[in-house]
Amino acid sequence: MSTVTTPADRVTTAPSAPPRRRLDWRLRFAALSLIWGFSFLLIKVGTDGYAPFQVTLGRLVFGTAVLAAAMAVRRERLPRGARTWGHLAVSAFLLNALPFSLFAYAELTIPSTLAGICNATSPLWGMALSLVALSEDRPTRVRVAGLGLGFLGVLTVLGAWQGFHGLDATGTALALLASLSYPVGWIYVRRTLAGTGHSHLSMTGAQLLFATVQLAVVTPLFTSLPTRVSVVPLLAIAALGALGTGLAVLLQYGLVAEVGPTTAQMVTYFIPVIATAAGVALLGEGLAWSTPVGAVIVLTGAALTQVRPKPRKVTQP
């Protein structure tokens, strides 16, 4: 459940201090998979007591607080420059405020399992958009086949042969739109914020701060104060923000620095599996055969879209 600019965005990072001894990357990879996989369950629980915009605002507040603490510990400052902040405003909307809110609204009417699987379509949207928007991404037969296979998986999950019977069309559309928002944001970041010279932590902290401000303005306009404090949903929102948005970002960037973006981004393929298991086991959500089968097809297609052609060897005359 990507929430911030990823290493693929190629934002130049500032020189870092010598690396400290860390927990094994496999354990951190597993932790990140669990955190993002359970995020959809936490959204569902949060919306049981609070309006979707309130869930999103709380999530951003707690996530921003974690990154602010990390920046204070590392003595990093927010980026400067009106131009940079202008682009950060757009990226905050596309990568945080919009998709977080859409998922929250979607889960009012669809199960968390379906929301998690919809999130897995993000690489498919990214592949389709990058072919148009990014000149360095060239189509190959394998990647195009993966794109087609992935969307076939989406139709399988949604039960297209049944006429989408029993499916809430609005909620599903919102979840798919949320997953589409991520690659749109990534492409925007790659085109506007690459080479700023600021660290990932500084840029992401500023981005979350801006998204928090955006939701702080919007939320009072469309919601009213809750009549009572629902403790369990509030704890779910706090965990969603502090873990699913704040800590997850720190884990993600640490993994990228250690094992590279390709391995780190493999977490995407574990998220729907964990989201489905959590929704079924803890929330008692139903699971038709088409859901896991379609999810496997989606993930296979998404994996194929990430296959890059090997560079051709140049033979000397």
- pLDDT value of residue 91: 96
DSSP labels for 49-64? TS-HHHHHHHHHHHHH
pTM to 2 decimals?
Answer: 0.86
- On the question of pLDDT at 226 being above 50, the answer is yes
Q: Tell me, yes or no, whether 137 lies in a domain.
A: yes
Q: How far apart are CA 119 and CA 174, in angstroms?
A: 11
Q: Which residues contact 157 (CB under 8 A, 6 or more apart)?
A: 114, 117, 290, 291, 294, 295, 298
Quote the pLDDT of residue 11.
Answer: 43
Total of domains in the chain: 1
Q: Assess if residue 54 is contained within a domain.
A: yes
- Buried-state track 105-133, b at ≥16 Cβ within 10 A, e below 16: bbbbebbbbbbbbbbbbbbbbbbbbbbee
- What angle is formed at CA 244 by the lines to CA 239 and CA 247, rounded to 5 degrees? 95
Query: Does 190 reside within a domain?
Result: yes
Lowest mean pLDDT among 130-134, 205-209, 217-221: 130-134
pLDDT at 22: 64
- 40 part of a folded domain: yes
- 201 lies in some domain: yes
Share of the chain above pLDDT 90, in %: 52
Q: Is residue 30 part of a domain?
A: yes
The predicted structure's pLDDT at residue 161: 66
The answer to whether the Cα torsion of 162, 167, 168, 169 is positive or negative is negative
Do the domain assignments include residue 175?
yes
Q: What is the pLDDT of residue 10?
A: 40
CA distances from 105 to 46, 60, 174 (A): 11, 16, 7
Where residue 1 falls among pLDDT bands split at 50, 70, 90? Answer: low
Host domain of residue 116: 24-306
More confident residue, 243 or 144: 243
Top-confidence residue, 240 or 293? 240
Q: Quick one: pLDDT at residue 265?
A: 77
Domain membership of residue 317 (yes or no) is no
Lowest mean pLDDT among 86-95, 171-180, 202-211, 266-275: 266-275
| pLDDT value of position 107 | 97
- Can you give the pLDDT at residue 17? 46
Q: What is the residue-averaged pLDDT of the chain?
A: 85
Q: In this structure, are residues 80 and 39 in contact, taking their beta carbons and an 8 Å threshold? A: no
Q: Is the pLDDT of residue 126 over 70?
A: yes
Question: Taking 90 as the threshold, does the pLDDT of residue 197 lie above it?
Answer: no
